[in-house]
Chain A
């Protein structure tokens, strides 16, 4: 890494000698540039991590309904219930997952994930207007802040003066990614305006201990949500799968096999056999299963509390652990669930809904359709949705859930004006679900065009939360679809499409439907993604603008404030990194021509002009390292006010790549002096001059 930057610097020297003839001599402080680049090797790495986290966060939800005996089995291994046993295995599916997108192109995903949970979201009080969705919170800001505080304090112990800067930066990055970013987007509550937390599939699980397995399985659907029907905006045509857990030590395998055959005959092909408890083995073959990394701040706090309580008493509960063989068995089960049942099901849903609902809206005729619907009331709309109903039942027969008769609840066809949400059979809800499925299947371009269809309907109905959510996802899906260096976000897309979308989404979240936590999620995801799209200005202009907006609107607590300031600094760092790459690329193609230009003096004037403009482009602009250092300094001030001196030290040390060589920065009335000297008197550990370290 270092070597490549050195080469780059020597290149730059070469170029700058040629520019000396220009009337503005462009001096660049190359040492500071290279040191920032080499120490924090690439600022966009965190952003790319965020992109991966985002793609994993918006993944299919699987409802787990277990019989009491299956839960009992999980409890024997130290888990709370079967859901908690399965949850960690959904975080990352082992091996590749093949997904066919809307164009029938196969996509291989390395790190696909699903999320298991056991609540479906009960019926909310149905009131008219937007009241249902007002003040929905993604997470509790206090919980989030106090968890962050705990984690920061925990990390204090590791942030020692002696450790290398890059190691400490790594710790910090991990803190941001896992404790801040992931916690914010993990497990959104079940709401009507987005379907990511609605179940895509359902697992009915029984164990081989059950005396009447088939009857129990038939009864299990009634135990969902303790019998209360799910809210009317939740689609009930999710995929049903059945899992028989066979306990090797206690029960006969043959018997379980015949039972599985019976299940297949009665419930269809989506039946799986899970064989666990094969061995009575020694301790060392057991592995402790970590909690899923996708729990919310609230849950994490609860578990921290619990473990603290446990410590104070006796070490009562052993950490949940499983035998190695059982682990592979469960991994295999989850994998086949996903690859053989869930993904094909979702692909089919996407095709069916696209044909029956969305495709009629696309194109010019679709526009007419929605316009006429607007002016002539419900007549045409109901006609359109009749087709939809038949479409759903068609889907039902495909998925073998036809045996459970679908009784369509009253609210299923409810429009927004009647009840304040769209019932799950309305075209709007179906298109939204279609777009969400496409997003979960990582077909981002298709998802974007589908989200785009919804905008006008929601605007007409003044369904603000729906509007904001679909615009948010529209912007995010464009950003997700861009993978530099193959594709780069164009300036036109950035200013004409993404900016208005984000602007409207954030405004609507904050002002119209007062859901600031969602606004924060939108800002965080989009600003991180803007750092991954290979456009320097997207990072240094747009990303920082939205992050600043989050700061101005006070969407985060105190520590979050400091962390976001560091993100702004990082976004400026990304600007430098991307333009460095661009400059390299341009120089790689342009340099032979330049040499020629210098050697032969008989070039035409116009030719020279273009070459000079090339040259200016390749040398000027591009760095934002001063801005990056400045925002680190502001972040340091926030940490200072929060009395966290090790973080202050980390920030100022990073900023010293720029400030370290300048004597004006350490003046006594300057902020850097206050921060570093305050830290020195309070920490009492170092006599070393902070600035001479580098």
Chain B
């Protein structure tokens, strides 16, 4: 199973992206998207923003569950208070772990925002952040 995580800024710009695989069931944590799928990933997630913008007004929670799907893939979304969107492309429906995953990413993201040298919508290139997200992915998915 492969996942693609994107943190999208307020201007539809990617702030952070990560493709990873599962560590469960003997997975090695590497993404195994097919070639056709790999080049489409960012576009699929971008298209799902349309739905996210509809759904975010209908609920009080930040976690929007599965908002969209593309063939066998599903897209789960999480909208932060600052209108930053976390989107995850995944193949199986595991709402609880995805929710915890998102909440922990939100935690990490807040810590990044606290950095005085970081401006909203700036790309996050910190290797520490990257490593933490990978660890979270390993923990939950």
Contact B39 A662 (CB under 8 A): no
Residues in chain B near residue A672, CB distance under 8 A: 43
Contact A674 B39 (CB under 8 A): yes
Given A620-B53, A674-B39, output 14 extra A-B contacts at Cβ < 8 Å. Answer: A24-B56, A24-B57, A620-B54, A623-B53, A625-B50, A626-B12, A627-B51, A630-B44, A633-B43, A662-B12, A665-B43, A669-B38, A670-B42, A672-B43
Contact B42 A664 (CB under 8 A): yes
Partner of B47, one of A26, A622, A626, A669: A626
Residues in chain A near residue B50, CB distance under 8 A: 572, 623-627
Residues in chain A near residue B43, CB distance under 8 A: 630, 633, 665, 670-672
Q: With A and B bound together, what is the CA distance between A550 and B53 in angstroms? A: 28
Report if A273 contacts B (CB, 8 A): no
Residue of B nearest to A629 (CB): B47
Residue of A nearest to B80 (CB): A24
Report if B113 contacts A (CB, 8 A): no
Residue of A nearest to B47 (CB): A630
Contact B57 A664 (CB under 8 A): no
Interface residues, chain B, with chain A CB atoms under 8 Å away: 10-14, 38-40, 42-44, 46-47, 49-51, 53-54, 56-57, 79, 81-83
Partner of B57, one of A620, A623, A626: A620
Q: List 23 A-B contacts (CB under 8 A).
A: A23-B81, A24-B56, A25-B82, A25-B83, A27-B11, A616-B57, A621-B53, A621-B57, A622-B54, A625-B50, A626-B12, A627-B47, A627-B51, A629-B47, A630-B43, A630-B44, A630-B46, A631-B47, A633-B43, A662-B12, A664-B13, A667-B42, A670-B42
Q: With A and B bound together, what is the CA distance between A631 and B39 in angstroms? A: 14
Partner of A29, one of B12, B57, B81: B12
Q: With A and B bound together, what is the CA distance between A674 and B47 in angstroms? A: 19
Residues in chain B near residue A572, CB distance under 8 A: 50
Contact B40 A671 (CB under 8 A): yes
Residues in chain B near residue A24, CB distance under 8 A: 56-57, 79, 81, 83
Query: Mostly helix, strand, loop or mixed at chain B's interface?
Result: helix
Contact A626 B49 (CB under 8 A): yes
Residue of B nearest to A536 (CB): B54
Contact B49 A664 (CB under 8 A): no
Contact B13 A662 (CB under 8 A): yes
With known contacts A24-B81, A26-B83, A621-B57, A664–B14 Cβ distance under 8 A:
yes
Q: With A and B bound together, what is the CA distance between A500 and B47 in angstroms? A: 28
Q: With A and B bound together, what is the CA distance between A622 and B57 in angstroms? A: 12
Residues in chain B near residue A631, CB distance under 8 A: 47
Q: With A and B bound together, what is the CA distance between A577 and B39 in angstroms? A: 29
Q: How far is the CB of A441 from chain B (nearest CB, A)?
A: 40
Residues in chain B near residue A670, CB distance under 8 A: 39, 42-43
Q: How far is the CB of A460 from chain B (nearest CB, A)?
A: 38
Residues in chain B near residue A630, CB distance under 8 A: 43-44, 46-47
Q: How far is the CB of B33 from chain A (nearest CB, A)?
A: 11
User: Using an 8 Å CB-CB cutoff, how does the interface string of A506-548 with B read, 1 for contact, 0 for none?
Assistant: 0000000000000000000000000000000000000000000
Q: How far is the CB of A615 from chain B (nearest CB, A)?
A: 10
User: Using an 8 Å CB-CB cutoff, how does the interface string of A15-26 with B read, 1 for contact, 0 for none?
Assistant: 000000001111
Q: How far is the CB of B96 from chain A (nearest CB, A)?
A: 24
- Residues 611 to 650 of chain A near chain B (Cβ within 8 Å): 616, 620-627, 629-631, 633-634
Q: How far is the CB of A298 from chain B (nearest CB, A)?
A: 34
Residues in chain B near residue A671, CB distance under 8 A: 39-40, 43
Residue of A nearest to B43 (CB): A630
Q: How far is the CB of B7 from chain A (nearest CB, A)?
A: 12
Q: How far is the CB of A576 from chain B (nearest CB, A)?
A: 9
Residue of B nearest to A631 (CB): B47
Residue of B nearest to A540 (CB): B50
Residue of A nearest to B81 (CB): A23
Residue of A24, A620, A626 with most chain B CB atoms under a 10 A cut-off: A626
Q: How far is the CB of B73 from chain A (nearest CB, A)?
A: 13
Contact B83 A27 (CB under 8 A): yes
Residues in chain B near residue A25, CB distance under 8 A: 10, 82-83
User: Using an 8 Å CB-CB cutoff, how does the interface string of A550-583 with B read, 1 for contact, 0 for none?
Assistant: 0000000000000000000000100000000000
Q: With A and B bound together, what is the CA distance between A232 and B57 in angstroms? A: 59
Residue of B nearest to A616 (CB): B57
Q: With A and B bound together, what is the CA distance between A670 and B38 in angstroms? A: 8
Residue of B10, B44, B46 with most chain A CB atoms under a 10 A cut-off: B46
Q: With A and B bound together, what is the CA distance between A413 and B92 in angstroms? A: 56
Q: With A and B bound together, what is the CA distance between A317 and B107 in angstroms? A: 80
Residue of B nearest to A663 (CB): B13
Closest 9 CB pairs of A and B: A630-B47, A671-B39, A621-B54, A620-B57, A626-B50, A627-B47, A624-B50, A626-B47, A27-B10
Residue of B nearest to A620 (CB): B57
Contact B83 A669 (CB under 8 A): no
Residues in chain A near residue B81, CB distance under 8 A: 23-24
Residue of B50, B54, B81 with most chain A CB atoms under a 10 A cut-off: B50
Q: With A and B bound together, what is the CA distance between A625 and B49 in angstroms? A: 10
Residues in chain B near residue A623, CB distance under 8 A: 50, 53
Q: With A and B bound together, what is the CA distance between A665 and B13 in angstroms? A: 10
Q: How far is the CB of A120 from chain B (nearest CB, A)?
A: 46
Residue of A24, A25, A634, A674 with most chain B CB atoms under a 10 A cut-off: A24
Q: How far is the CB of B111 from chain A (nearest CB, A)?
A: 21
Residue of A nearest to B68 (CB): A627
Q: With A and B bound together, what is the CA distance between A25 and B39 in angstroms? A: 31
Q: With A and B bound together, what is the CA distance between A672 and B40 in angstroms? A: 9
Q: With A and B bound together, what is the CA distance between A680 and B50 in angstroms? A: 31
Contact B53 A669 (CB under 8 A): no
Residues in chain B near residue A669, CB distance under 8 A: 38-39
Residues in chain A near residue B56, CB distance under 8 A: 24, 620
Residues in chain B near residue A624, CB distance under 8 A: 50
Residue of A nearest to B70 (CB): A630
Residues in chain A near residue B49, CB distance under 8 A: 626
Residue of B13, B42, B82 with most chain A CB atoms under a 10 A cut-off: B42
Q: With A and B bound together, what is the CA distance between A25 and B10 in angstroms? A: 9
- Residues 583 to 627 of chain A near chain B (Cβ within 8 Å): 616, 620-627
Q: With A and B bound together, what is the CA distance between A669 and B39 in angstroms? A: 6
Q: How far is the CB of B74 from chain A (nearest CB, A)?
A: 15
Q: How far is the CB of A627 from chain B (nearest CB, A)?
A: 5
Q: With A and B bound together, what is the CA distance between A26 and B54 in angstroms? A: 11
Residues in chain A near residue B47, CB distance under 8 A: 626-627, 629-631
Contact B46 A626 (CB under 8 A): yes
Residue of B nearest to A613 (CB): B57
